[in-house]
Amino acid sequence: MKMRGEQEALLCGVRSLLPEMQRDALGFDEAAEFPRASLEALAELGALKASLPEQFEGLGFGYGEQGAAELLRLFMLLGEASLSVARLYEAHVNALQLIVRYGSESLAWACAEDAGQKHIFALWVTDPHGQELVLEPRGTGFVLRGRKDFCSGAGTATRALITANDRTGTRMLLVRLRPGERVLSSRLKLGGMRAAVTGSVDFSGMEVEQSDLIGEVGDYLREPAFSAGAWRGSAAALGGLAAIVECHREQILQRHREDDPHQRMRFGQNVIAYETARLWMVKVARLACVEDDSAEAIVAYVNLARLAVEAVCLEAMQTAQRSLGLSGFIAGSRMEMLCRDLGAYLRQPAPDETLTKAAAYYFRNAFPGI
């Protein structure tokens, strides 16, 4: 009961921050500036440790049925507040959960302490095309050669889970950085999610110890955690969709167009879109966190949910833009930023392959409920 009360207190605290975070999001987006104030406020609430299990002094968000439901609520709130903040927090949660799942107990405790001291964790796993980050032996440890691209929080995150290749395969490891360290000056410039401050980080010459390695070769790609983890990004996108539906509603009311039958129809379509995505996410959060089915079944269902959420989000953005006309495209307006950020967030890798693999599974196994 104590854990449940602490979970609820955190969620209430985050909900109380929404108006301020939503106001700040426009400024952070315009300046392409890391949302430091928002992350600091979340840290003060204890959100940086929330996704750790109770044994590591966390709140168990993402563990068991209750933890799955609470983490879903948390990501929805953050996505509604700021998709850039949600993206940064999703990487933080992903990194910590991988460390707990595959790392040593001593490393997990060290990372729990770092999270308690308000270190932000990142997850940087994208190599430049044809140039893998390499882990080479040196003495009793290793040295890195290469860089990572599409690094959200580059220059601000002070702990990062990264992947690197040695002669046996892909390894996960933890690196510790000072603010601004190793960030390349030619920062990537994305049209959306600008406040996530996505850049490239050069790790060449960085020395790491044996104790910094996480798990075994191949663990990063091990199922179901690798593919099923996509549910967290979809949960944040669902929060972004909630923000678009509410922004759509507010602007129609401001124009006194709520009695127009065409505006009613479009708004009704967006409410349906949101509820469709929410129902998918309620089930998929539980399935991904509890893992009480086969890895193949979990991955197939999560993949379908991810694409279902993507489809309704894209449709809802188009519907809202059709309702609002050119005013929905005014640079610096809330609707313009929301659609730009959500469009970027939804661009996850290999959507066609994801769908065909899920469909292949359900050709062999009846879809639940059929």
Domains of the chain with bracketed CATH: 2-119 (1.10.540.10), 123-217 (2.40.110.10), 225-364 (1.20.140.10)
pLDDT in tens, the chain (370 residues): 567 889 999 999 999 999 999 999 999 999 999 999 999 999 999 999 999 999 999 999 999 999 999 999 999 999 999 999 999 999 999 999 999 999 999 999 999 999 999 999 999 999 998 889 999 999 889 999 999 999 999 999 999 999 999 999 999 999 999 999 999 986 678 889 999 999 999 999 999 999 999 999 999 999 999 999 999 999 999 999 999 999 999 999 999 999 999 999 999 999 999 999 999 999 999 999 999 999 999 999 999 999 999 999 999 999 999 999 999 999 989 999 999 999 999 988 888 999 999 999 999 998 876 6
Token digits of residue 62: 């993402």
Task: Give the dihedral of Cα atoms 266, 267, 268, 271; nearest 10 deg.
Answer: 130
In whole angstroms, what is the distance from residue 218 CA to residue 195 CA? 32
Instruction: Give residue 190's pLDDT.
Output: 85
Provide the pLDDT for residue 279: 97
Helix (H, G, I), strand (E, B) or coil at 221: helix
Q: Shortest CA distance to 163 belongs to which of 142, 183, 147, 182?
A: 147
The answer to whether residues 59 and 45 touch, using CB atoms and an 8 Å cutoff, is no
What's the whole-model pTM score? 0.95
- Report in angstroms the alpha-carbon separations of 50 from 55, 59, 313, 338: 12, 5, 28, 26
| Preceding omega of 224 cis (within 30 degrees of 0) | yes
Q: b/e per residue, 26-43, with b = 16+ CB within 10 A?
A: bebbeebebbeebbebbb
Closest CA to 91 of 125, 135, 129, 140: 125
